[in-house]
Structure 1
Amino acid sequence: MKVLSPRVWLPLFAALLTTGCSVFGDNGVESAPYTLLKADTSQNIEVRNYDSMILVSANMAADGRNSAFRKLFKYIGGENEGAVSIAMTAPVIMDTANKGKEIAMTAPVFMSNRPGDSMMSFVMPKDFTLQTTPKPTNPELMVTELNDYKVAAIQFSGTLSRSNVAKHTELLQAWLSANGYTSKSAPIEAGYNGPLTLPMLRRNEVLIEIN
């Protein structure tokens, strides 16, 4: 499974959370809400159900991760259809030309690296629906809805290095087998903090959709 290297990761999240993060781990953005179904605190594993999530996604395979991030970043900053200004949850530095409807950023940023389906997705604020989410002006972006998205997630600190992601993916898969769960998807990565956050205080996750 491919992961974002520090060379790619740093410029992405430096732009995203420059003013919304700190060295102490507070990213200052709304987190996607979910219902906790089961928790194993000894291994930092949770079974969750996301009732509904609106995702705006860009293909990472076509133009690369940096390009996908820039397209999504421009979308939440105004490259969308709409005229009502919405205060940003985490202010960001960006070009405000052709400004439309500003959209608050929500954590985490999801990255799926499945063959043929390499996507980066921003989660929309919880009050957005498929009908009310502003349409992207960039035709390469997709707006989708996830309903009753049941996942197992393992949380860990440090960086989203290849070895760290692989280690925690293996731990999560072993836990699923031991607890009678069946995987429905390949693992995806989720990041919550910017590069200014001290590695030991960062929140990273690997999620696997389950039955």
Structure 2
Amino acid sequence: MRIFGAKLLTIATISTMLTGCSLFGDSGVESAPYELVMADETKEIEVRNYESMVLVSASIDGTSDNSAFRKLFKYITGANEGATEIAMTAPVFMDEDQKGTEIAMTAPVFMAENTNEPSMSFVMPASFTLESTPKPTDPSLTVSEVSNYKVAAIRFSGTLSDSNVDEHTQILLNWMQSKGLKQVGEPVKAGYNGPLTLPFLRHNEVLIEIE
């Protein structure tokens, strides 16, 4: 992935902190919009183009992503310099010591593990532009924009375990080969639910950037 390669993304314990998440699969949050290019409903595979996504990212140090998640959660709950009123698409909790704009949580949250600089990123609501996204008060967070991100994506349930991800990544790669689609980025896994959602109702994906 051109920009995501060094700055991508992880599934985290969102449902424990967002009241919009549930045991039954409906996270209640806005999803990043995309153009559907092709679909194979039998294999739950789509080719998509994300025209634009604004990301706020935190580096992941060591083997734990807890610190990055905490920084990003603080950002969307007020640790930013924004002053514009933002329509909430999901409720979030505001820490009392945070000042700034509360920002809606948006799905999915991604994880790219095969990078030299892994980082977690939250996708901003679709109404945000690079210019209008509130500046983080934490200087370690970065704001970036990804444009015309074309991917093949496969949807599956269960957990984001290595075995489940590997199985569906291989199904997706085989499908791409059969369609003559060229891979140009590493597989990225995406989660739309937090860990409280029942596994058989979870919405998970693997995305691979293509030409």
| TM-score normalised to structure 2 length | 0.90
Deviation, 1:87, is: 4.5
Deviations 1:100-145 (A, max 9, x none): 0111111001111123131211100001000000111111111110
Task: Tell me the secondary structure at the aligned position of residue 122 of structure 1.
Answer: strand
Alignment match, 1:157? 157
Per the alignment, do residues 52 and 9 of structure 1 end up closer, same or farther by CA in structure 2, a change over 3 Å counting? closer
Distance 1:47 1:9, change over 3 A: closer
CA, structure 1 residues 172+184, in 2 after alignment: closer, same or farther (shift >3 Å)? Answer: same
1:13 partnered with 2:20: no
What is the distance in 1 between the residues matched to 2:87 and 2:53? 20
Asked whether 1:46 is paired with 2:40, we answer no
Question: Structure 1 pair 63/156, CA: closer, same or farther in 2 (3 Å)?
Answer: closer
Give the direction of change, closer, same or farther, for the CA distance of 1:63–1:133 in structure 2 (3 Å limit): farther
Give how far 1:26 is off: 0.8
Q: Which residue of 2 aligns with 1:143?
A: 143
Alignment of 1:124-143 (within 5 A): 124-143=124-143
More helix by share: 1
The answer (yes or no) to whether the contact 1:78–1:96 under 8 Å persists in 2 is no
Match of residue 7 from structure 2? none
Unaligned runs of 5+ in 1: 1-7
Return the letter of the residue paired with 1:118. Answer: P
SS in 2 for 1:90: coil
* Alignment correspondent of 1:77: 77
- 2:157 and 2:201 in contact (8 A); partners too: yes
- State the distance in 2 between where 1:122 and 1:205 align: 16
- Pair 136,32 (structure 1): closer, same or farther in 2 beyond 3 Å: same
TM-superposed deviation, 1:160:
0.5
Change over 3 Å in CA distance of 1:16–1:47 after alignment to 2: farther
CA shift digits 1:50-95 (9 cap, x unpaired): 0110011111135731111111111111111122343432213341
Identity within the alignment, %: 62
Pick which of 147-156 and 81-90 moved more. Answer: 81-90
User: What is the alpha-carbon distance in structure 2 between the residues aligned to residue 63 and residue 130 of structure 1?
Assistant: 30
- 2:108 paired residue number: 108
Q: Contact 1:86/1:102 (CA < 8 Å) preserved in 2?
A: yes
Contact map agreement 1:85 1:100 (CA 8 A) in 2:
no
Supply the RMSD in Å over aligned alpha carbons. Answer: 1.8
Distance in structure 2 (CA, Å) of the matches to 1:209 and 1:26: 27
Which position in structure 2 is the counterpart of 1:99?
Answer: 99
Q: Secondary structure at the match of 1:115?
A: coil
TM-superposed deviation, 1:9: 6.6
Name the CA distance, whole Å, in 2 between partners of 1:63 and 1:145: 26
AA paired with 2:79? E
1:105–1:124: 8 Å Cα contact kept in structure 2? yes
Number of residues of Structure 1 aligned to a counterpart in Structure 2: 202
Contact map agreement 1:151 1:209 (CA 8 A) in 2: yes
**Alpha carbons of structure 1 residues 139 and 83: separation in structure 2 relative to 1, 3 Å:** same
Whether the aligned pair in 2 keeps the contact of 1:88 and 1:104 (CA below 8 Å) is yes
2:16 touches 2:196 (CA, 8 Å); kept in 1? no
Report the Cα distance in structure 2 between the residues aligned to 1:135 and 1:62, rounded to whole angstroms: 26
> Relative to 1, partners in 2 of residues 1:63 and 1:174: Cα closer, same or farther, differing over 3 Å?
closer
